[in-house]
Amino acid sequence: MADIPFDKRDGFIWFNGELLPWADAKVHVLTHGLHYASCVFEGCRMYGGEIFKLREHSERLIKSAEILGFKIPYSVEEIDQACIDAVRAQKLTDGYVRPVAWRGSEMMGVSAQKNRINFAVAAWEWPSYFDPEQRKKGIRLDIAQYKRPSPETAPSMAKAAGLYMICTISKHAAENKGYADALMYDYRGYVAEATGANIFFIKDGVIHTPKPDCFLDGITRQTVIGLAKDRGYEVIERHIKPEELSDFSECFITGTAAEVTPVGEIGPHKFTPGEITHNLHEDYIAAVHAHQAKAKAVNG
């Protein structure tokens, strides 16, 4: 399945209020979202038949659209249900869910007030985001050329398609050099995040993580911070300078796709996955399955 192009797969996609055959879920080449990046999206994971933190993802999707100046024509509850309908139509138990909203093709130009706001949900099987052998010893990160932009330059608090252009460039450059991903600094030169995941560091038993003031405060990030505090770990959110990287003993990244993934190397800096990283990985896996059990109990 992994080798099949996404436009050639089978099943159904929830598209503007109905389940369409997968191959029929199409947009026109002059869609505004393609040319001008007027598109927002979410990424959710499904465990054991339940979508983890679905409500939080749906709420963030609506907020992202508002930041980009458009309104998704569905409520949070309707978006939740569309996601559920999509995974049921695909007969998935474990997988990835992609809700997406974008401006259509009624107007072509920077101005697009009259364009229809489209909304779709696709779902598919998706195994580990990184190679399992790399995860065991910690993935290797390059240092990206591009930096996360200032909130005065781009809508950095939205999960918007256009903000990922520099992420794709940076991840490709890293992979071409044999790395799994890249660490991005922010516009001030502070450590920010990986191309699609937040980052954490450990020193003397204390967890340090960049302050998300110009990039997404990820839902997985928030979950892991809560799990760390439940264990009694101290978590400090602050600006981290690149020259501090050599002072940390452990490092890991978090995200819906990445989950909790240990990092063994960032450029010249080395880390050893240790007890805290292991504990939080195990706690996160337990949390997603506990969420699954609770949701099933509530739903009868």
Amino acid, res. 122: A
Given a contact cutoff of 8 angstroms between Cβ atoms, the answer to whether 195 and 167 are in contact is: yes
Burial (CB < 10 A; 0-12, 13-18, 19+), residue 83, is buried
Tell me, yes or no, if 63 is annotated catalytic.
no
Q: Where are the alpha helices (DSSP H) in 17-164?
A: 32-36, 54-67, 76-89, 132-137
What is the spatial distance between Cα 198 and Cα 60, in angstroms, rounded to a whole number? Answer: 16
Burial (CB < 10 A; 0-12, 13-18, 19+), residue 177, is exposed
Q: Which of 147, 159, 177, 203 is catalytic?
A: 159
What is the spatial distance between Cα 156 and Cα 67, in angstroms, rounded to a whole number? Answer: 9
**φ and ψ at residue 149, rounded to 5 degrees:** -75, 160
Provide the token pair at 48.
């054991």
What is the spatial distance between Cα 186 and Cα 156, in angstroms, rounded to a whole number? Answer: 11
SS3 content of the chain, % helix, strand, coil (to 5): 35, 25, 40
Active site residues: 159
